[in-house]
Chain A
Amino acid sequence: MSAYQARFKVWRGDRSGGGLEDFTVEVNDGEVVLDIIHRLQATQASDLAVRWNCKAGKCGSCSAEINGRPRLMCMTRMSVFTRDETITVTPLRAFPVVRDLVTDVSFNYEKAREIPSFVPPPGVAAGEYRMQQMDVERSQEFRKCIECFLCQDTCHVVRDHEENKEAFAGPRFLMRIAELDMHPLDSASGTGLDRRTTAQDEHGLGYCNITKCCTEVCPEGIKITDNALIPMKERAADRKYDPLVWLGNKIRRREG
């Protein structure tokens, strides 16, 4: 392996317009796409805007679309491309663009605020929490989320239908509801909050048609669809579409 010149197309512009700009840039052994973007910054386009932080796939800042696929730039190795391939890098296409590769991801922060927080169990002091490993593992999987928002970006519900952003929390935050609903000590039900019905009624779980793109793009390998979204749909069905379960719950208030 040795250094070579790669052809890149990088989207540059802002909300008033822009387009793909061509670059030819050096690539060395072992580099990732983010390295190349940094080299462009240092040598050819000092004002090329890009978000990044940890450069190790842990913070979820450098989300972009590479050859049309939502990915983390720091985790996309150049060796997955052939040397004569032109590599196209664009900002996330589901969110408003700010400049170059930087998009306005405030949609996600607004949705995060709409999900009711963890409700601590009343009467259990700090230090007295007891939970079994097998009971926390499901929620722990979801807490691996680095909030890169690639799932939010790829989800066609909002990517292709801006008007659904109002009603739909997106995979990341539906997964957050699942995380809390599966938390062994969350006491939301004690405050009259039913996370299962509100997932469907207030956060748009029904918009999800389980086409699994969120799972496909997740850089943490979280099984968003199988482990969070579908179980939430089933839990909502318990509440809303299953008269047997509904009746059972009426008769004896059961805690699973």
Chain B
Amino acid sequence: MSSSAICDPQVEVDVRGPRFAAGITVVVLAVSLLTMGTAVAAVLLAIQTIVFGLGAFVGLKAQPYGIIFRKVVQPRIAPASEFEAIAPPRFAALVGFIFTAVALIGLATGVTAIAYVAVAFALAAAFLNSAFGFCLGCEMFLLGKRTFSR
């Protein structure tokens, strides 16, 4: 995915939207980690992978937790005062998608250890995003670019 494809500086969202979505993600990932090895964990991980995928590949407008925020939460709270570009949260969704997809592959192939590790990392990133507003994936982006491209 090229950065230009997902970086349109004209499109902005209420900063509280991605933070709210990350909060739900924390709950979903925590429960799936707690119940790892059961069907509950597998279903939750599958749902979360689809949610991340929609956010990363279709757009934040299609991200289910974001839709809940706009339809249910936003009308009940103060109007948005801070906005942010959509590129960082979309990139974060892509990173999340990779981690939960790896976890699902781990479960499908019977290597549960991979699922534990991948979900633990995804949980840490989602928690930092919702509680502190940090986008861990975004911060790793330059380091990765520096290391892997000429």
Asked if chains A and B come from one complex, the reply is no
Interface residues of B (CB under 8 A from A): none
Interface residues of A (CB under 8 A from B): none
